[in-house]
Amino acid sequence: AQSVTQLDSQVPVFEEAPVELRCNYSSSVSVYLFWYVQYPNQGLQLLLKYLSGSTLVESINGFEAEFNKSQTSFHLRKPSVHISDTAEYFCAVSDPLNRDDKIIFGKGTRLHILP
């Protein structure tokens, strides 16, 4: 079964500074990868996903993530954060070739934007 690790439970960053939230997954022949965002007192929303094709995927609000097969990573980046990016971010992984495999979520990284 897949597993996913988010090494940082909290990441403080100044407004307008760049940020990287790290995500590593256990090796597999095939993977689907996801980043979800949870704003305070809300449910999780899909931010972006990698299913196949280009290894660099982007969201509509300026985040991007790169699928790196050799490093089994899917780190989330944004070149300049805004106060509205304050949220918890969850990385998730699944194995599309295993029909019994559910999406596995990481434990989340809380992004604190400092004024």
Partner 1 sequence: NAGVTQTPKFRVLKTGQSMTLLCAQDMNHEYMYWYRQDPGMGLRLIHYSVGEGTTAKGEVPDGYNVSRLKKQNFLLGLESAAPSQTSVYFCASSPNLSYEQYFGPGTRLTVT
Which spans of this chain sit near partner 1 (rule: CB under 8 A)? 9, 32, 34, 36, 41-46, 49, 90, 94-96, 98-103, 105-108
- Rounded least distance, CB 6 to partner 1, Å: 9
Going 56 to 18 to 39 to 74, the CA torsion angle's sign is: positive
Nearer to partner 1, 72 or 105 (CB): 105
Q: Which is nearer to partner 1, 29 or 115 (CB)?
A: 29
Between CA 28 and CA 102 the distance in angstroms is 14
Report whether 111 contacts 85 (CB < 8 A).
yes
Distance CA 110, CA 60 (A): 20
CB of 108 to partner 1, least distance (A): 5
Between 13 and 103, name the residue whose CB sits nearer to partner 1: 103
Least distance in angstroms from the C-beta of 82 to partner 1: 23
> Any residues with CB less than 8 A from the CB of 41 and at least 6 apart, and which?
none
